[in-house]
Copies of this chain bind each other. A is one copy, B any other.
Amino acid sequence: MEKSVSDTFAIRLDSAAAQVAAALEALLGEAPLDGEIARPAHLILAMRHGVLNGGKRLRPFLVIETARMLGAPEDAALRVAAALECIHCYSLVHDDLPAMDDDDLRRGQPTVHIAFDEATAILAGDALLTLAFDVISAPETDLPADARLRLVNALSRAAGVGGMVGGQALDLAAERVSPDEAGIVKLQAMKTGALLRFACAAGAIAAGCDDAIVARVTRFGEIIGLAFQLADDLLDVTSDAATLGKAAGKDAARGKGTLVSLHGAPVAKQKLAALVDEAEAVLAPFGDAADTLRQAAGFIATREK
Contact = CB atoms under 8 A, between A and B. Distances in A.
Interface of A: 32-40, 42-44, 47, 90-91, 94, 97, 99-100, 117-120, 122-123, 125-127, 129-131, 133-134, 137-138, 145-146, 148-149, 152-163, 165-170, 172-173, 186, 189-190, 193-194
A121 to B, nearest CB: 8
Contacts of A159: 130
A169 B99 contact: no
Nearest to A131: B160
A145 B151 CA distance: 12
Given A40-B166, A130-B156, 7 more contacts: A36-B166, A37-B162, A37-B193, A37-B194, A40-B173, A43-B161, A123-B172
B38 A173 contact: no
A165 B119 contact: no
A163 B32 CA distance: 10
Contact of A156 (B91, B133, B190): B133
B37 A172 contact: no
B99 A160 contact: no
Contacts of A152: 133, 137, 149, 152
Contacts of A119: 99-100, 172
A37 B197 CA distance: 12
